[in-house]
Amino acid sequence: MDDCTAHGPTALSLDAALARIDQGYGPVTGTEAAPLRAALGRVLAEEVTAPVNVPPAAVSAMDGWGFAAGEGMGEGERRLSVAGRVPAGSSFAGVVAPGQAVRIFTGAPIPAGVDRVAMQEDCRAEADGVAVWVPARLKPGANIRPLGEDMTAGSVVLRPGQRMRAQEIGLAAAVGRSTVTVRTRLRVALFSTGDELREPGTPKPDHAIYDANRYTLAAQLDALGVEVIDLGILPDRPDATRAALAEAAERADLLVTSGGVSVGEEDHVKAAVSALGSIDLWTLAIKPGKPLALGRVGTTPFLGLPGNPVSAMVTFLLVGRPLVLRLSGASSAATPRSLVVAGFSFTKKPGRREFLRARLERAPDSRPLAIKFPSNSSGVLTSMVEADGLVDMPAEAVAIKPGDLVDFLPFTGLFA
């Protein structure tokens, strides 16, 4: 078992937690037809094939002059007589003979007899329009997009489980689809817990705080294309917690809470979920975000996130996002990452994987340079605003030095 004994017998590595999600959870939603303009962010539930070749014929890749090489096409330029013009959406009747050229525009079909296109800026048309000078040394096929270059008739161009981004929507449109079959939106019931919380926009006593977690988590869920059922703030009472979770489980495909999953006397969520279903209480071997609960209320999946705002956001990005995508039917929940240069020093004890908030600058050699946020506190929400992403420091690592290459998880990929 991939448990992390350095932090107690129940501490799991992040990889082990994600493996449990892959093995224990699958799609829970149905399917429906959606117009392309409404499909952004949805999970595709069908194969999309190309009924035609794209492009349907060989076409010009740019505005220019089309011709075929003939005798005498050596160095420099050659003067060719103009045989006509071919705008996009039209065709050329006849054959372009040797010694002739046609004015052709981007996307226009290549006339018979033409085997290359010269860019218009490399050609010189004579003032009377009778002839044009073209570069002699141009390879066959230059600036021509062949038939079926993008897609061939009958080929599968989109597969079930793909999330519909702008490019997938454009591809579906390119093969003539106006609607696609997608997974219905995952319904996620969202709570915050804690008597110290108040709703933003309402008065609060000095000892209370405004509920930020529910708003940040709702925004993260919105970015994943789910339907958020906002059920507000749960009071710190066992009976109220059990009743609210039981009711929500009847309405939602997934329950998400923040706070109440630790071991304090006022942390009632764990006990309520255990009474209503089952729970794995993980002590994840990561920082921030040590306490995390995954289980079921009845048959409805449940995810309990930490109460500290940075911990809640980071654990949702690392664990909640893959769980939501898995339940939504997405084929991949891979975490985007890249290598960047460390512009800071940092040390830690081995045994726990740490995710450091950092912004990116440009190093003198033009490589991306990660600058760590000064505070490591999981209560400093401003750090998530100042940062561009997370530096992933492996559990066994003990130090990062300036100039080291480090794994970087950009927020631009995680918040989507």
Residue 262's pLDDT is: 62
Q: Could you give the CA distance from residue 384 to residue 335 in angstroms, rounded to a whole number?
A: 18
Closest CA to 201 of 190, 212, 193: 212
Say which residue the tokens 């930490």 belong to.
Answer: 306
Task: Look at residue 1 in the predicted model and tell me its pLDDT.
Answer: 35
Cα separation, 103 vs 120, whole angstroms: 9
Residues 6+ apart with CB under 8 A from 319: 14, 17, 18, 21, 284, 292, 294, 303
Using CA atoms, how far residue 111 sits from 61, 70, 316, 381, 393, in Å, is: 14, 16, 56, 62, 59
Task: Assess whether the previous peptide bond of 135 is cis (omega < 30° from 0).
Answer: no
Which of 219, 292, 294, 303 lies closest to 257, judged by CA?
A: 303
Output phi, psi for 161, to 5 deg: 100, -15
Residue 39 to residue 169: CA distance in whole angstroms: 7
CB 94 within 8 A of CB 112: yes
Please work out, in degrees rounded to the nearest 5, the angle formed at the alpha carbon of residue 371 by the alpha carbons of 391 and 343: 95
Per-residue pLDDT of the chain in tens (416 residues, 90 and over written 9) = 344 444 444 688 999 999 999 999 999 999 999 999 999 999 999 999 999 999 999 999 999 999 987 655 556 789 999 999 999 999 999 999 999 999 999 999 999 999 999 999 999 999 999 999 999 888 999 999 999 999 999 999 999 999 999 999 999 999 999 999 999 999 999 999 888 999 999 999 999 999 999 999 999 999 999 999 999 998 888 898 999 999 999 999 999 999 876 655 456 788 889 899 998 877 899 999 888 899 999 999 999 999 999 999 999 999 999 999 999 999 988 889 999 999 999 999 999 999 999 999 999 999 999 999 999 999 999 999 999 999 999 999 999 999 999 999 999 988 88
Q: Would you give the distance in Å from CA 231 to the centre of its chain?
A: 27
Residue 117 token pair: 């296109």
Residue 363 CB coordination number (10 Å): 14
User: What's the pLDDT at 267?
Assistant: 65
Q: Where do the domains of the chain lie, and which CATH numbers do they carry?
A: 5-29+185-328 (3.40.980.10), 33-53+164-183 (no CATH), 59-145 (2.170.190.11), 338-408 (2.40.340.10)
Q: Specify the pLDDT at position 332.
A: 86
Q: How far apart are CA 318 and CA 333, in angstroms?
A: 10
Give residue 264's pLDDT. 53
